[in-house]
Amino acid sequence: MKEYEKKYQLEEILTQEEVEAKISELAEILDKEYKDQNPIIIGILNGAVYFLTSLTQKMKIDLEIDLMGLSSYRNSSVSSGKVQITKDISRDIEGRPVIIIEDIIDTGRTLQYLTNYFANQKAKSVETITLLEKDVEKVTSKRADRALFKVPDVFIVGYGLDYANKYRNLPGIFEIKNV
Ligand code: IMP
Ligand code: MG
């Protein structure tokens, strides 16, 4: 067990190697799917930055990246229920294929909000991809088009995901036990 796992009572669910391998597969799929289309790949801040970085570095086709800030969780492990835009994308997406990159889908509220938001902006297409999806039966207003991994309904940190703004830089995916 690594030092930080002991210190924070973390249990590794997915190793960095497992995550990177899945992202490589996804990169290959998207390279084929979006060949000659120059997609705009939009990462949702802050959780999706590692996923966005890793994915786009593995892709070989022409693409553009952008970032959008949204928050629904505020310094706790409990959802506040409200979604807010904290930073908007910085380009016109009309007529362009858009790929939205999320860290995790829990209730699906954030994704529902995003889907509505982009539907109004006349993108050519909108595909939603999440690194993690909580394996829950609870009210999921919206599922992602693709989810790389299913995780149990526990609080997850690492690979971009935080608890009270900490642990984003942990290399793998962990369950945090002491919340
Ligand atoms: P949803 O709107 O309930 O689907 O929540 C989505 C957002 O909540 C994600 O983009 C994360 O930022 C955050 N979130 C949900 N579950 C977790 C978790 O287990 N760990 C860290 N962040 C989470
Ligand atoms: Mg998020």
Q: Give distance in angstroms: CA of 157 to centre of ligand 2.
A: 12
Per DSSP, helices labelled H in 3-107 are 3-8, 16-33, 49-58
Phi and psi torsions of 137, nearest 5°: -95, -10
Instruction: Among 50, 128, 155, 161, name the best residue to mutate to test ligand 1's pocket (greatest count of ligand atoms within 8 A of Cβ).
Output: 161
- Give the nearest ligand 1 atom to 83 CA: 2
Would you call 171 helix, strand, or coil by DSSP? coil
3-state secondary structure of 91: coil
At 45, the amino acid letter reads L
Contact between residue 131 and residue 149 where contact means Cβ atoms under 8 Å apart: yes
Find how far residue 148's CA is from the centre of its chain: 10
pLDDT band for position 70 (50/70/90)? confident
User: Does position 7 have pLDDT exceeding 80, yes or no?
Assistant: no
Please give the single-letter amino acid code of residue 101.
I
pLDDT score, position 78? 56
Q: Which residue has the higher pLDDT, 1 or 75?
A: 1
Is the CB–ligand 1 distance for residue 104 below 6 Å? yes
- In percent, the amount of the chain with pLDDT more than 70 equals 89
Say if ligand 1 is within 6 A of residue 50 CB. no
Q: How far does the centroid of ligand 2 lie from the alpha carbon of residue 92, in Å?
A: 22
Return the structure tokens found at 111. Answer: 């994704």
Percent of the chain with pLDDT over 90: 67
Tokens of 158: 């690492």
Measure the CA–CA gap between 160 and 104, rounded to whole angstroms.
Answer: 10
Q: What is the pLDDT of residues 101-156, one digit of tens each?
A: 999 999 888 888 888 888 888 999 999 999 999 987 665 567 899 999 999 999 99
pLDDT of amino acid 94: 92
- What is the sign, positive or negative, of the torsion defined by CA atoms of 89, 95, 99, 104? positive
